[in-house]
Structure 1
Amino acid sequence: MVELVILGLLAAGPAHGYELRLRIPEITGHGRPVADGTLYPAIKRLAEAGLLTRQARPGQVAAPRQVLTLTPAGHAELVRRLAAVDVADDPSWLTALAFLGALPDPADLLRRRLAVLEARALPEGTDAYQQCRLAVLTAGREAELAWLRARVA
């Protein structure tokens, strides 16, 4: 999923690895930076696949930074990965949702997610803490259903 996030962030404009490292938690919602051992190998794989380019630019204080730019092939790969996202997997869906503006027509994906949510039964909570969790899940589900229905209507 980190590769999808990198492609999505670079679709908005060039960035260097450290910027991506800071911005990824905003998208994934994990609240902690992605590990360098995950981020930089993913950047290398994307660059080797021709999905992004790297260009050294002088750093303001430190060593030169590698500025990453999405290539046309990278944009096409972003669209392909977004269209193929598992809409039943909540973390994958929420990550992809941040970049759906890159799709020429996200309606099919939105309809698929809507169908998943409408078919999904929420678990029942037995104690007060599980009931609270269920209330939070229900409120989030209802908000997402309303949003999706408004978009695909």
Structure 2
Amino acid sequence: MMVDPVKSAGKQLTYDGLVPASALQRFQGMLVETCADPEVVLNFLVDEQGLYVMQGQASVTAKVSCERCGEPLTVDVAAQFAYAPVTRKQTADNMPDAYEPIEPNEFGEINVHGVVEDELILAMPIVVKHDESDCKIDPNNMSWGEIDETPAEHDNPFAVLQDLKRK
């Protein structure tokens, strides 16, 4: 869905609805099964400094794979964001840190579905795993590779110095 953020901010439009999950291919690739359509609220406004702004929030419940046991796990993904379109008057250099600059296309529009998808991807937990009590793998019994129980006989690293001292 393409939106002109400058015109929308001038009219103080609010979009409240669902983004089709089928439009979020990269986000869906992170999941073990297709999620429901994310709920999205977008507010376009002109702030106190006269900057055009798009503020929004998106949320969805998704099923991902547990990093520990590999079983499906349900997570709630929620994102809040604020963008300001880059224009002739409104450059990325003079934009406050509260807003992420966004480049409109040649028609002055932005892809709202792309923005929502990016924000949901960024809101995903870095490491997703069950609580220890719910996970099928006990973290106390986890080991990687074989552990050799026989004591290793190491040469003394200073043996070379002993030979030099004798000479």
TM band (smaller chain) = under 0.3
Q: TM-score, normalised by structure 2?
A: 0.24
Q: TM-score, normalised by structure 1?
A: 0.26
Find the structure with the greater CA-based Rg: 2
Normalized per residue, which structure has more strand?
A: 2
Normalized per residue, which structure has more helix?
A: 1
